[in-house]
Amino acid sequence: MAYAAYREHPGVALPAPRLATSWASPPPEGEARPPRGGPAEAGRTHAAMAPSFHVLDVTVCCADALRVRRSIAGCAEAGVVRCEPLLHAGGSHESDAPCVRLMIRLPLARYAEVLHRLVECVPSGEIGRLVSWREHLARCGLRHGH
């Protein structure tokens, strides 16, 4: 299997945020002391605990795009949000076959699973940048990512 680009993106394995366990012990350096009533009184809502989504650009031959889309559809919380045909010969791609750029939305927790599915179902391609959902929206022309 030959992929033109593969990079471990910083931030893929983020440590879970920690709260100090009690008021009796000082919090770890750089962390805030928990509220007196515990996390329940910290004002956490469902929206605050929702996963943060990112977008991964992947370039594959047109003939392989359907296989990739089907494979990613089987990955929980991930999906192809955009498919752009590339009109020029793709940079480091092995063949002269027409290519498409797939933009895959995923939470960071699914990054390894998505990469595994890509490598498993397509013999070659190009794995691009991993960007935040807000940056993706801004790149698509939406001001301030809204």
Model pLDDT, residue 113: 94
Model pLDDT, residue 20: 43
Residues of the chain whose pLDDT is less than 70? 1-51, 89-95, 143-146
Q: In which element (H, E) is residue 136 found?
A: helix 133-139
Model pLDDT, residue 25: 62
- 72-99 pLDDT, tens digit per residue, is 999 989 999 999 999 875 555 556 789 9
Strands of the sheet containing 2-3, edge to edge, are 2-3, 124-132, 53-61, 99-107, 79-86
- List beta partners, residue 57: 103
Domains and CATH numbers, the chain: 54-145 (3.30.70.120)
Model pLDDT, residue 66: 94
Taking the C-alpha atoms of residue 15 and residue 2, their distance in angstroms, rounded to an integer, is: 31
